[in-house]
Amino acid sequence: MAPRVTDEHMTEQTAVNHASAKIVPQLPDMQTVTEVKHYTDRLFSFRVTRPASLRFRSGEFVMIGLMGDEDPETGKRKPIMRAYSIASPSWDEELEFYSIKVQDGPLTSKLQHIQPGDGLILRPKPVGTLVHDALLPGKRLWFFATGTGFAPFASLLREPQTYEDYDEIIITHTCRELGELTYGRDLIDALKTDELLNEVIGDGLWKKIKYYPTTTREDSPKMGRITDLMRSGEAFTDLGVPVLSPETDRAMICGNLAFNLELKEMLESYGLNEGANSNPQQYVVEKAFLD
């Protein structure tokens, strides 16, 4: 990738004193961090500027990263890039991400220290299957998340189409500890005052949402893995809805690998088929980012 000269150099320094102008190489695809929020010692979210040309569908992911340390042998630095779901909706002026912090993780050990004003590398090529286009029309939409797998749903929950296309939206979020539910809970609470959604959808929005958070390693009002709670029937009783059916229910899954596989098998047993952008069906899956 060719280094590029900043606008500042082009317009001011180059014109004033071309010979002495020091050219600062900048990476292409560099965005600026605008906000960082820490939730627990394992979780944080951040917002960055959005490239003017970036268009994406709510629920998609992009590659983001930072420059790695200098290689002691070659003296070169390489970017460390990972796939991250965009947690903000497609209409938002900025981009939001929700991340785990892994102390010895190649990227998140550094990423967890970013501050407003810092640079973040973002490759503007959004892709992914957790999009409305990959599902056939239905009545009830389920979002199944564990941990940071909530991120794509944070985008879709702020997307008007979610409420236009479905009568009911059920969000299940299974985390180890209570503090890990904060990001999702705050986001769902904030929908009450979301200007765009209230203008486009109205307060009927509220009647459509059912939020079902559970914890597995800390006491909370509802404990247990969502998979176990569905298998026993408890989740359906609590939510007041029947078991998923291919006629009415659509689902998106985003969590750790074991969770995705287990839930996929359960949905298949209810008669739902996996969809893709090129072949919309009744459910879609994506793996949450784990550094």
Q: Does 176 interact with ligand A2P (rule: CB under 6 A)?
A: yes
Q: Which two tokens stand for residue 216?
A: 């597995």
Rounded CA-CA distance 269/181 in Å is 29
46 forms part of the interface with ligand A2P (CB under 6 A): no
Quote the CA–CA distance of 86 and 151 in Å, as a whole number: 7
Is residue 262 close enough to count as binding ligand A2P by CB under 6 A? yes
Going by C-alpha positions, the residue among 140, 41, 39 that lies closest to residue 87 is 39
**What is the smallest separation between the CB atom of 138 and ligand A2P, expressed in angstroms?**
23
Using rule CB under 6 A, residue 220 touches ligand A2P = no
**227 in contact with ligand A2P (CB under 6 A):** yes
Q: What is the DSSP letter of 256?
A: -
Is residue 40 at the binding interface for ligand A2P, with CB under 6 A as the rule? no
148 DSSP assignment: G
Pick the stretch among 5-13, 132-140, 174-182, 202-210 that binds ligand A2P (CB under 6 A): 174-182
Q: What is the nearest approach in angstroms of ligand A2P to the Cβ of residue 18? A: 54
> At closest approach, how far in Å is the CB of 21 from ligand A2P?
50
Handedness of CA 37, 58, 254, 193 (dihedral sign): positive
Stretch that binds ligand A2P, among 3-11, 69-77, 84-92, 168-176 (CB under 6 A): 168-176
- Measured CA distances, 268 to 128, 222, 250, 274, 285 (Å): 21, 25, 12, 8, 12
Q: What angle do CA 78, 80, 86 make, to 5 degrees?
A: 140
For binding to ligand A2P (CB under 6 A), which residues are involved? 146-147, 174-176, 216-217, 225, 227, 256, 258-259, 262
